[in-house]
Structure formats: structure tokens, C-alpha cells
Structure 1
């Protein structure tokens, strides 16, 4: 799903039942967010059009043929993005650091991203969201990244490390959802439900396949827009049987909590807890660290 496939997204491992485990998790999480061209380095989001045009904050002329969606036979055309770069623009391919000039093209499937070309401290990330191509600039000197000293968090709560069970579906169910960017809609595959008890009541949250043997749950709770961002994500190790542990101390913000240039998924309908989950990450502008 968009803005969740970054190398800065950290999977939850182990049962997370101790403060020591949680402290290690926090160190790794803050280190991942400190990456020079990670989510905190975003400085713009610009949609590409069919007509070649300049971008803010990055050289070259850019355009995109957005292609078309699947027809009745399942055929698709993902189109392509094109960059015209002069040798004097001083661009390098981000992965190889070799000079990048001439007519350059790239094709992405929907929800894919590519750290494509670099100019100085800035990398142009090509992405495809909602069937359209966009470019996000990632600057290792961005003010947000330079001011980052760790995500504010609640103190460790052993009582919010909750046993539960996973009830898998016979097959994935496709569910539509909205995102942090009102111009981008998306869908996801729900693979089952996580059932657990909180404050004497049973709760259910719809779970996605998070890859690498994990389940992802994106949820609202009663702390949102108060001490926490608008929604958060919890990653749970996928069990071989049905027993799971939901360690809400490892609830994380999506990139859209830190930047206006995220296209992160919002919770699917029904993933709302009436109780306040005062564990895990707070809103980035919270004073408490």
C-alpha cells in the first residue's frame, strides 16, 4: 500500500512483553526515521502531466503518460514517466551515482515508488498513486529532518500488551479506503480479523498482509487529534496457529503524521477503538519525548 513500502517502515518482532524489548524497538525506529532520504526528508509532492514542464526544487523537464486501467480482458497500460535532462543539470542516478542525462523513462505499477535521480542533496522519488505519476523531492537537508530528535511516545504500558487470536478469512477481501491525500483513493486486501479483550470488552480489528510474515492493522482510537495523530498502525507477527499478541506500545505513526506530502492509507471502515490507546507513538508535535 502507498507509503508503507519504505525501508524506514519497521516490522514488529517478538512478543514485545518487556520494557527492554520496547526500548530497543524505539532506538531502531528513531534510527530508521533519521535516514538521510527517508520520510522526514520530503519537501514537495508534484503531479506530472502529459505536457513536459519544470518542477519546483529539481531540474529537468518532466511529463507522464498515465496509461489506462484494466479492460475486460484484464489488459493494462501503466504508461510511463519521462524526464528530459541536460548534462549541465548535474543529475545522477540515485542508485548508481552515474550521470543521468538525455531522455529518461520509467514505468511503475500503481503504489510503486522509485528513488530515481539525484541533484545535490535532493533525490527525486517517482511514484504512481491512484493511477497517476508524481514526483516527491527528498532533501537530506530538509528542516523537518534536521530538527528531528526522536518521536514522542507514551511510557511503556505492560497492560496494553494484549493476548488475542487471529481469525483468517478463507481468502483475501478487497476493501476500498481513503488516504492522507484527498486526491488519492486506494484499496487493500483484508486477510482476517484480530480479536482481543480491552477494558472488559471484546474488540475486532481488520488485518492486512504486512509481508515478511506479519499482519498490519491501521486503526483509530480515542486519543487521535489529541495526544496522537489522526490514526496509527500496529504490526503483529502472523501466527502459525491462532494465538497472537497485540503490543500497542509498538503503535507507529504513518509518514503523513510527519509530512504534508504523504499519501498514506487511512483505516478501513470499522477499525475504530472507542477506548484511548495511550501507548506507542504520539503526534510528532507533542512536547513529550
Structure 2
């Protein structure tokens, strides 16, 4: 399959993951919970965090409690509920097929496909810990598995990456960020067998928080913030 055909297939899959009925853009709320039960807008019953799971109680028509461990889902009141956890704190996420339309977003703007945006890189495998900050100000420590050395517009840059099931993942920003493109973007590419990788910036994609303010995406670490432009991949949501 040639580059354009492969990229078009990737775009179609990406569009479905974002705009599908329960896709990324459908997140309507993230409710952080405590041990004291709370009433949540638009949802029946009361909700709390207990024994490491999200618990819904006193829900009309439901016999007993609704319990959702992180990642577990249930349909209720016309929406999809999903348990969520971050650093030991629990939240209830609400996914609503109409959320994107209410926010007035419906498409992803992209830079033109550029074969030159497929950049060779050298992988330096070494584990490191770096402080991270999320868009909501939450601070944590992230473990990174490698540094990928790249040449962009004649400038040497380094990309700190995390390994996940055979893929490298990273957040980055560049000279287009906040102007021509979203303030930061994400990348995934296969972990190579040796030390040589190909980083395809045509597949740079918008973080979930570009589609909903209720995501808590992690910002790029300082070394992944570059002064060179990367005019490839997804730009903004419109």
C-alpha cells in the first residue's frame, strides 16, 4: 500500500474513534468523587468512591448499587458511564453522543500530507523519570522508556517516549503550537527492533482535551517542546 492510501486508511479510522457515537468527542463530563455521596447533574441517584470503585446508589429502577471499576462501563439514562482513576483518585465519566454537537465541533483540520514529514530517528533506550503536568494542573511523575533523536529543519531535537504494547507514545509541541495548530499534539509509532525508527508526523494527532475540556491530558515534558515547526498531521478541531 502506498503512503497516501495508508494515510487515508489511518484518517478514516481516526475519524471513527473521534466522532463515533461513543468516541473521544462524546465526553460530556468527568465527575471527581469522594467517599461522601453526591448528586450529579443529569444523572439519577447519588455517587461516591468506595473500595477502589465508583458507586452509584439510590438509582430509580436499579436493584442495588451500580459499581464501576476504572475502565468499566454501563449505560444509564441515555448516556454511557465509565469509571476513571488517576493516581488513586476516582471519577465518573459521562459519554453522550450529542456532546460534540452541543460544543459546536464536528471536524479535524489537518496539514497536507507530506512525505518529507516521515523522519528517521535514532532510539536511545534508557529509562528515566520526569515530572509531568496535566492540563488541569495535576502534577505527577512519568516514567519514560527511551529518547528518540531526530533532525527537523536541520535542527537536532529529542523526543522522550513511553512504551505501550509495542508502540512508542509522546506528547510534543513545536513552533506551530498555539497558532497554526493546537497547543500540543500526540504521536504514536511502532517500537523498532533495533535503534532506527521512522517517526511519521503526518500521524501527529490532537489530544482528547482538544475535543472536550473534561479530559486531563498530560502536557509535553520540557524536552519535547521544540522551536522548529512541524507542519504535518492534525492541526485543530473546528
Alignment TM-score > 0.5, same fold: yes
Tell me what 2:152 maps to: 198
Tell me how far apart the structure 1 counterparts of residues 121 and 190 of structure 2 sit (CA, whole Å).
Answer: 12
Tell me what 1:176 maps to: 131
Tell me how far apart the structure 2 counterparts of residues 87 and 256 of structure 1 sit (CA, whole Å).
Answer: 33
State how 1:35-50 maps to structure 2 within 5 Å: 35-50=20-35
* Equivalent pair of 1:40/1:145 in contact (CA under 8 Å): no
Q: 1:186 aligns with which of 125, 135, 140?
A: 140
* Equivalent pair of 2:155/2:228 in contact (CA under 8 Å): no
Tell me what 1:266 maps to: 219
What is the CA-CA distance between 1:278 and the residue it aligns to? 0.7
Tell me how far apart the structure 1 counterparts of residues 56 and 157 of structure 2 sit (CA, whole Å).
Answer: 49
Note closer, same or farther for the CA distance 1:143–1:214 as it changes in structure 2 (3 Å cut).
Answer: closer
Tell me how far apart the structure 1 counterparts of residues 111 and 94 of structure 2 sit (CA, whole Å).
Answer: 32
Note closer, same or farther for the CA distance 1:63–1:149 as it changes in structure 2 (3 Å cut).
Answer: closer
SS of residue paired to 1:279: coil
Tell me what 1:5 maps to: none
Tell me how far apart the structure 1 counterparts of residues 44 and 208 of structure 2 sit (CA, whole Å).
Answer: 25
Note closer, same or farther for the CA distance 1:181–1:269 as it changes in structure 2 (3 Å cut).
Answer: same
State how 1:67-216 maps to structure 2 within 5 Å: 79-88=52-61, 100-108=62-70, 113-115=71-73, 117-144=74-101, 149-169=106-126, 172-182=127-137, 184-209=138-163, 211-216=164-169
Note closer, same or farther for the CA distance 1:101–1:147 as it changes in structure 2 (3 Å cut).
Answer: farther
* Equivalent pair of 1:34/1:145 in contact (CA under 8 Å): no
* Equivalent pair of 2:33/2:47 in contact (CA under 8 Å): yes
* Equivalent pair of 1:41/1:144 in contact (CA under 8 Å): no
Extract unaligned runs of 5+ from structure 1. 1-13, 66-77, 89-99
Tell me what 1:91 maps to: none
Tell me how far apart the structure 1 counterparts of residues 100 and 69 of structure 2 sit (CA, whole Å).
Answer: 31
* Equivalent pair of 2:52/2:90 in contact (CA under 8 Å): no
The 10-residue stretch of structure 1 (142-151 or 18-27) with the greater mean CA deviation from structure 2: 142-151
Aligned residues: 238
What is the CA-CA distance between 1:168 and the residue it aligns to? 0.6
Q: 2:41 aligns with which of 56, 61, 73?
A: 56
Extract unaligned runs of 5+ from structure 2. none
The structure 1 segments of at least 4 consecutive aligned residues displaced by more than 6 Å after TM superposition are: none
SS of residue paired to 1:181: coil
What is the CA-CA distance between 1:106 and the residue it aligns to? 4.1
What is the CA-CA distance between 1:86 and the residue it aligns to? 3.4
